[in-house]
Amino acid sequence: MSDPVLQKIAKDEEECLAKVQSHLAQRRSAEETRAPAKNYDAELLSLRDQISSARTEDIPPLLEQMERLQALASRTVESEDQSVDPRSPYFGRMVLEENGRTREVLIGRGTYVDTKAGVRIVDWRDAPISRLYYRYGEGDDYDETFGEREVYGQVLTRRSLTITEGELRRISCPQGNFAHSRKDGWIRLNDSSLRLQGGQGTAVRPDAAPSGKLGVGEIITGNEDKHLKEITPLIDARQFELITQPDSGLVVIQGGAGSGKTTIGLHRLAYLAFHDPHRFRPDKMLVVVFNEALVRYISQVLPALGLNGVTIRTYQEWSSRLRASALPRFPRTYTDETPGVVTRLKKHPVVLKLIDQIVEQDASLALKSLRPLIQNEPNLEPALETFERSADRPLMHRYHALRRFIEDHEEAIEVGARTSALSIVRRHLDRLDDIAFLWADLLTDLPRLKRAFESASHDRLSPAEIERAHAYMVKRTNHVLSDMERAREAREERRAAEPTLRAEPTPREEPLTIDDAEFPDPPRPRLSSDDANESSDDDTDYRAIDGLDVEERASLDREDDTILLRLLQRVRGPLRKGQITKEPLSYEHMLIDEAQDLSPVEMAVLFDTVSRGQSITLAGDTAQRLHMDNGFTDWSTVLGELGLSHVQVEPLELSYRSTAQILDLAQHVLGPLKPAVPPKATRDGAPVELFQTAATGDSAALLAEALRSLSLEEPRASVAVIARYPEQADLYYEALKKGEVPYLRRIVDQEFPFKPGVDVTDIRQVKGLEFDYVILVEVTETSYPEEDEARHLLHIGVTRAAHQLWLLSSGRPSRLLPEALRERGY
């Protein structure tokens, strides 16, 4: 069937492209016949050599000549950089009318203007006139100021184009959306597939969402935010079964994105607190989440479930502040330059075995020294047998028990044997009290590290990798130990000069709450120069007389907090609530969300802060792993390494968040990593669409137009524009801002407001969150190659969408996407 509108528009655009390509070809041919460009670099180097050996009076003219050549060279480079690609010279076309005159402006990735030939291509990133393309639609009047000049006019024509490999593939304009295929020629596309529509409010919960219709979703009244609503009436039978598990023991919930894992965990907290409010007080429970966005999210959910005062932390914050409280002499700063191989080593389950070996070796040495004493004093034998049988207890507790036995049986034990035994115990206690030494010994014993990894069951580090990590750790630990020793000497010097100086900080007079004790105030900021006489130990020997740093400060790797805390648990005993209290830190229930992103070492530290009943809920999804270097492989392996191989994993098979179309794609991108039993969707929805463009500016223009339209039709919709990398998110944010997309926010560090609008961010920020609409940008082969990490990240991005998902690719689409989708992408 003929379509005169389509035919006319396609003819106009094909003629425009042919004109531009012909002109660029002529220009390229003319340039090839010119003399080769002058080699300014060689001349500049020659002048530099002449200046170095010239007489003083000859230097000024040589410098002047060098400046002139530099200016010519920069203009040449600028001219080369601004050339356009004839295979994709532009992606937007406008016809403007100003003062009765019309002119054509093309929007591309470079600037090329030849007014005589009627070719004007401007760069979308910095040409002022490109604002008209992003801000105005066809038929709009505009009033803008370019520099000091005010410009008035009307946009007669505005079209978005996709030109790849020199061929016009797609046209978007108010008259319709058209695509060209080699088989069918030009066709008109279904407009509904090119619109974001009908999903407003879906991200809360599908059962509570309004019934959307083609075009515009119903307006939601009442609460406009996107926080999880109190959904107790909507819990299904399987979820209720998990929520009401016994109040002791470990519950492990494996469920895909949107299956209700977090919902179950939070309602389990409320269920336990309701049935045993004395034991499960809010201040005796802990929720560990992956990021700060989820901390804020859950902190506003729990009050609706009747729980106020529950501690909600990221693991990083929890461990950092707890370690600073328990070991205040260690550095308080962290390096951002930890090599990947070091992170893998420090998070590997082998570390748990190495720590246990240190404990066992110390106990074995003590027994080796103590056993000969039994020959002359058999009354020591019961104490040594008890010491051996209590291998699961913290080592210092065992030594203290041994010492108490000897002291309590003073009269029954011969003096010489008693004195020797107490001396041996005291020597080992003194050694164990130096946690810094144990930490450094653990990380710098190269033969022991190699032996440990030889017996590792999975994810082994090669000898070369261990040696690289070892070299880094030797340098880092030496730096830390030297810094701590320097600070100790400085303290002793001050005490000698001021005998009345207290050895320990003055304790706080007000009573500590569990939260204050568990998380003491962060370190005070560095004092100003006016307070130099009261500066802390941290400043010792780091500043010269002029106040400048003379030496790099010692710092820890983030992974060191976990290793130090685990050493404390196995050597000294339970972690404490604060520096000035001996009360152990003990939770009655712990919920760990997104547990697959914690290492076995981190889990061991957390588990040991739970009371004897071990009431713990783990919620996670192995398909949504964000960290590939944390020693987590699968549930059965990790639980086995923690001595919990008997625990059954409870699967969730239904997914309530995303549509069947979105879940199908999510499973496909996992490839060989997808679970044996994939989650089942509870509803159908709009098809997933892939838009292929030739440039980021083209993608941004298409997206800006769609988002402006969505904001008018569904003002309460939540939208996420998600890139793989922060730099890509920056680029799209600036382009959408130029396109005047309303309620636009750039989310850099978890600062999600959970309000209607458009959040532009990178994929590592969105873990655990959901949105009505998700647009994944730059889903290209470069951003998402065929590797495991890319599969997990793309899966996470896809499953953030509750209602509709778009994929944008300004290059060759990722091969992780289905071939059918790549072939039919617009």
Domain boundaries in the chain? 35-71, 85-190, 237-335+591-637, 340-482, 660-824
The answer to whether 507 and 580 are in contact (CB under 8 A) is yes
Report the C-alpha gap between 135 and 357 in whole angstroms: 66
Element (H, E) at 745: strand 744-746
**What's the whole-model pTM score?**
0.71
pLDDT in tens, 61-113: 667 777 777 766 655 544 444 467 888 899 899 999 998 899 999 998 888 88
Query: Residue ranges of the chain with pLDDT lower than 70?
Result: 1, 31-41, 55, 57-58, 61-62, 71-83, 182, 191-193, 203-236, 499-552, 626-631, 645-646, 825-826
Report the C-alpha gap between 342 and 157 in whole angstroms: 58
Instruction: Give residue 542's pLDDT.
Output: 47
Task: Kindly provide the b/e burial profile for residues 340-374, where b requires at least 16 CB atoms within 10 angstroms of the residue's own CB.
Answer: ebbbbbbbbbbbbebbeebbeebbeebeebbeebe
Residues 6 or more apart from 412 whose CB is under 8 A from it? 379
pLDDT in tens, 329-375: 999 999 999 999 999 999 999 999 999 999 999 999 999 999 999 88
Instruction: Give residue 552's pLDDT.
Output: 64
Strands (E), 562-674: 589-593, 616-620, 649-652, 654-655
* CATH class of the domain comprising 237-335+591-637: alpha beta
Instruction: Give residue 538's pLDDT.
Output: 46
Instruction: Give residue 235's pLDDT.
Output: 62
Determine whether 122 is exposed, middle or buried from the number of CB atoms within 10 Å of its CB (0-12, 13-18, 19+). buried
Instruction: Give residue 628's pLDDT.
Output: 59
The answer to whether 656 and 260 are in contact (CB under 8 A) is yes
Report the C-alpha gap between 700 and 741 in whole angstroms: 11
Report the C-alpha gap between 537 and 506 in whole angstroms: 16
State whether residue 384 is helix, strand or coil: helix
Report the C-alpha gap between 808 and 688 in whole angstroms: 11
Residues 6 or more apart from 720 whose CB is under 8 A from it? 758, 759, 760, 761, 766, 769, 771, 773, 774, 775, 800
Measured from the Cβ of residue 180, the count of other Cβ atoms closer than 10 Å reads 16
What number does CATH give the domain 660-824? 3.40.50.300
Going by C-alpha positions, the residue among 586, 647, 589 that lies closest to residue 247 is: 589
The torsion of the CA quartet 619, 620, 626, 627, rounded to 10 degrees, works out to 80
Instruction: Give residue 55's pLDDT.
Output: 67
Tokens of 524: 């005070």
Report the C-alpha gap between 309 and 424 in whole angstroms: 47
Determine whether 630 is exposed, middle or buried from the number of CB atoms within 10 Å of its CB (0-12, 13-18, 19+). buried
Report the C-alpha gap between 632 and 599 in whole angstroms: 6
Q: Which amino acid is at 581?
A: T
The yes-or-no answer to whether 237-335+591-637 and 660-824 have a common fold is: yes
Alpha-carbon torsion (627, 633, 635, 640), positive or negative: negative
Strands (E), 63-202: 92-98, 101-108, 112-114, 119-123, 141-146, 149-164, 167-173, 176-181, 185-188
Measured from the Cβ of residue 201, the count of other Cβ atoms closer than 10 Å reads 24
Report the C-alpha gap between 353 and 641 in whole angstroms: 9
